[in-house]
Amino acid sequence: MNIPVVNLDQFINGNQDQKVQFVQELGTAFEEVGFVAVRNHGIDQSLIDTLYDNVKAFFQLPTETKRRYEIEGLAGQRGYTSFGKEHAKGSDAPDLKEFFQFGQTIEPGQTPPEYYPENVKVNELPDFYPKFLEAYRSFERSGGALLKAIALHLGLQEGYFDAHIHMGNSILRAIHYPPILHEPKSAIRAEQHEDINLITLLVGASADGLEILSKENEWLPIKAGPNEIVVNVGDMLQRLTNDRLKSTTHRVVNPPRELWGTSRFSIPFFLHPQSQMSLACLSSCISSDKPKLYEDYTAGQYLDERLREIGLKK
């Protein structure tokens, strides 16, 4: 499936007409498809390449070494999570993946809006922490610009999301889907799901496999072109907009048999607000034709509920 493509530079550096066009294109894509490919996204390709090099090096470490970076009690929100621990909401089958998560870093002199656990440093890879931090900040900037456009599309002030995402609870996740060594029980590496957060920015993936569920209930493969990232609406944003913006169901499927012996790597950035942000449906998205669909939650309450549903939190 060819998902809509937008040019973020048009919004950041374009004239007023170009900015308006970008807002319209992004908003329409998120209402109709829920996914979009973004060009000129502002994340340097050399940084992406170095990040993937470090991610591949980490997952090639011995299992006992990786498990030293698995921190009990954090629900997988920092450090390593071993193979098969997470499952999709509503599914008992574990996803065929292991991952590493990097979260918000509070700089000296800053006052955090809430408690954030420290990020985990990988002693064997000295570049791992600084490159993750650099990438995290790049994702924050690009994601913040996209949310400005979303705010305008919703008839809000351009800076509506700014205070909510400043020092927010976003997560940069590095995922490894290991080679398939025997006949799998399922054709799915990551079961169908929707993301929890406001928006997700996915930069690159080392292999095909991402599919989205269309309005016609068909699974369609998607992949960004060169120098593009895939961005999709998460459940928090769908909830906030009373389903005006679409959090589209997606999954990762196994490769063709001839590629079973290969790994798949991907690095999504889950853009979360601060936990105290209200996800109460916007009044502008409620009408007699579209009554309010959700009870009032904060982002923190919703995240806690979902982490329990996917098996990361007890």
Q: For all residues of the chain together, what is the average pLDDT?
A: 90
Is 111's pLDDT higher than 80?
Answer: yes
Overall average pLDDT of the 37-50 stretch: 94
pLDDT for residue 141 = 97
Q: Which residues, 6 or more positions from 87, have their beta carbon under 8 angstroms from its beta carbon?
A: 93, 94, 95, 191, 310, 311
Is 144's pLDDT higher than 80?
Answer: yes
Cα separations (Å) of 311 from 73, 189, 304?
13, 16, 11
pLDDT for residue 160 = 98
* Region of poorest pLDDT, from 43-57, 90-104, 263-277: 90-104
Is 187's pLDDT higher than 60?
Answer: no
Overall average pLDDT of the 243-272 stretch: 89
Q: How far apart are CA 157 and CA 165, in angstroms?
A: 15
Q: How far apart are CA 277 and CA 296, in angstroms?
A: 11
Regarding predicted confidence, which is higher, 293 or 185? Answer: 293
| Backbone angle region of 217, left / alpha / beta, with phi > 0 → left and psi within -120 to 50 → alpha | left
Contact 192, 220 (CB under 8 A): no
Phi then psi for residue 192, to 5 deg, are -60, 140
Is 58's pLDDT higher than 90?
Answer: yes
Token couple for 156 = 């809000």
Overall average pLDDT of the 257-268 stretch: 86
- For residue 203, give the H/E element and its range: strand 199-205
Q: How confident is the model at residue 222 (pLDDT cuts 50, 70, 90)?
A: confident
Is 93's pLDDT higher than 90?
Answer: no
Q: How confident is the model at residue 87 (pLDDT cuts 50, 70, 90)?
A: low
**% of the chain exceeding 70 in pLDDT:** 92
pLDDT for residue 271 = 97
- The pTM (predicted TM-score) of the whole model is 0.92
Domains along the chain with CATH numbers: 42-309 (2.60.120.330)
pLDDT for 114-128, tens place per residue? 999 999 999 999 999
Q: How confident is the model at residue 91 (pLDDT cuts 50, 70, 90)?
A: low
Between vectors from CA 198 to CA 192 and to CA 199, what angle results, nearest 5°?
Answer: 70
Token couple for 64 = 């006992």
pLDDT for 165-175, tens place per residue? 999 999 999 99
pLDDT for residue 215 = 84
Is 193's pLDDT higher than 90?
Answer: no
